[in-house]
Amino acid sequence: MAIHSSVNAHLEIELSALIAIRRHSMHQHRSQVFLQRLRAVERAGKILQRSLATGSPRLDLLHKMSTVILIASKASLRIIDLNYFLPLHTLLVAIYARLFAIVTSVLAEAEASTIAPESATHAITVTPKAEARIENKPSTFSGSSGNADRSLQDSSNVQNRLSPPEPAKLPNDSSVKPLQPQGRLKKRRKNEIDDIFA
């Protein structure tokens, strides 16, 4: 499986940010659940880094890493809901989101590479059989002439049903005259003032 060259660099950046956060907040939040979850993500990330260095990451490690990230993010989101330590936990949730995006992209590539060779070999074995069936298939008009006429009639009926309807034609009646613009309908009423100034 070919892993993109930037995956290791992105993973290294996010894991180093997690390590820095853990060291900074280790004394203040020593017994907190979120810190234990952070350590679990850090350990799983280091194992995943070693697996990626070999060039073929194990699928079970990728699944475990994504599960650990989701559990850790839930712990931080609970603390955000309580409005405690918002800058720290929003930063943690952002790091978990980026780590999850990295892991899911690697997981998608790994699953695609395991599925692709099987489907390619299957396609190679199926294609010649399908071509042989098409070549050996008897023609539609091999029966009597009545059957051939009936099949032609059926196909024309199907084509008639599928074709779009023709547009309606306008009547050519001479009694129907086109509309013409009319003049002013209301005549101006004479006013006494008009008579005075006329």
In a domain, 24, yes or no: yes
Overall number of domains in the chain = 1
pLDDT digit string (tens) for the chain, length 198 residues: 667 778 889 999 999 999 999 898 887 777 688 899 999 999 999 999 998 888 778 888 999 999 999 999 999 999 999 988 899 999 999 999 999 999 999 998 888 877 755 555 554 454 555 555 555 555 554 444 555 556 556 655 555 555 555 666 655 655 556 566 565 555 555 556 666 655
In a domain, 35, yes or no: yes
Residue 4: alpha-carbon gap to chain centroid: 21
C-alpha to C-alpha distance for 55 and 1, rounded to whole angstroms: 7
Structural domain of 107: 5-125
In a domain, 146, yes or no: no
In a domain, 56, yes or no: yes
| Contact residues for 41 (Cβ-Cβ < 8 A; gap 6+) | 18, 65, 68, 69, 72, 96, 99
Q: Are 3 and 52 in contact (CB under 8 A)?
A: yes
What is the pTM (predicted TM-score) of this model? 0.56
Angle among Cα 146, 151, 154 to the nearest 5 degrees reads 125
